[in-house]
Every structure is written in C-alpha cells, then in structure tokens.
C-alpha cells in the first residue's frame, strides 16, 4: 500500500527543494515527526544516508534517484539500533526495501510537492496525521519573507 501527500507552496522549485533537503531547515520541518530529527550522509544519487532521532535510532537508506529540484527517491534499507545498522533481521526483511519519493513541479506560480511512500504496517495512521503537519511546516519555511 502507498500513502500520498501533497501541498502547494508559493515559492520557486529550487528554493522548496533546498529548504526540504538541506540543514538547518530539514531539521525544522521534520520536527513534526520527531523533535531533533536529523540526517547524516548525502542526497547524491547512490549515496547512503542515515536518518536519526535524538537518541541515535533511525533508518539506514540510500538515494535511489535524485534529479535536483525535480525528484528524489529514498530507498529505505533497514533500522539503526544502538549505533548498528540492521538490514537483515526478519523484522526488516518484512518491509525492506521500501521507498519514499518526493516530486517537485511548477504549479500556479509556486511549487507542488508530492510525497509518495510505501506504507509501514502499523504506522499508516501516524503518517496520515503527521505528513500534512510536516508539509505545512515546510510551506511556512519556504514562504517566509527572506
């Protein structure tokens, strides 16, 4: 099952893309999921990227595809627990790999951001509640006067 979320942001595509992916604004809009969320790694295609909560737990992923200011595909490969990557346990094999895709398109003088992700069993309701809040936070960051 896939989950879909989108928002229209009144800002140029390049600005929305960089605000979504670059620190410190990444940490600001993703605080809707978990205060203190951050990543280590690169958004370059083929690169490994790790997403963390403040306790150091999270997900190990790779960038499956990246066309700057157009499309990003994140391939989630496993969990990070106690500083170690888990990509082989039975729990991880039940869902990995899973994908989270971001598409950026020009619309109505702004940018439409579309999020499509494979649903994680047991997390669908949380994502349905949290992604809209996160996208509203991204919108506020992008639309604030510079």
Give the pLDDT confidence of 77-109 residue by residue, as tens digits.
Answer: 999 998 899 999 999 999 999 999 999 999 999
Tokens representing 31?
């605080």
The number of folded domains in the chain is: 1
pLDDT digits (tens, 9 = 90+) for 5-62: 999 999 999 999 999 999 999 999 999 999 999 999 999 999 999 999 999 999 999 9
Q: Which domain holds residue 87?
A: 2-143
What is the domain-level CATH number for residue 64? 3.30.530.20
Would you say 1 and 117 are in contact if contact means Cβ atoms under 8 Å apart? Answer: no
Q: How many CA atoms lie within 13 A of 5 on its CB side?
A: 22
């Amino acid at each position: 099952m896939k989950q879909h979320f989108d928002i229209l942001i009144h800002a140029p595509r390049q600005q929305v893309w960089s605000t979504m992916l670059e620190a410190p604004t990444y940490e600001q809009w993703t605080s809707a999921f978990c205060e203190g969320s951050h990543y280590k790694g690169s958004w370059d295609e083929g690169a490994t990227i790790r997403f963390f909560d403040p306790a150091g737990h999270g997900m190990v992923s790779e960038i499956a595809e990246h066309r700057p200011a157009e499309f990003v595909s994140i391939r989630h490969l496993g969990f990070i627990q106690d500083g170690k990557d888990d990509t082989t346990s039975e729990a991880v094999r039940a869902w990995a790999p899973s994908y989270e895709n971001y598409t950026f398109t020009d619309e109505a003088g702004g940018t439409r951001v579309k999020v499509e992700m494979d649903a994680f069993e047991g997390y669908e309701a949380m994502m349905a509640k949290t992604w809209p809040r996160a996208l509203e936070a991204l919108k506020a960051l992008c639309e604030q006067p510079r």
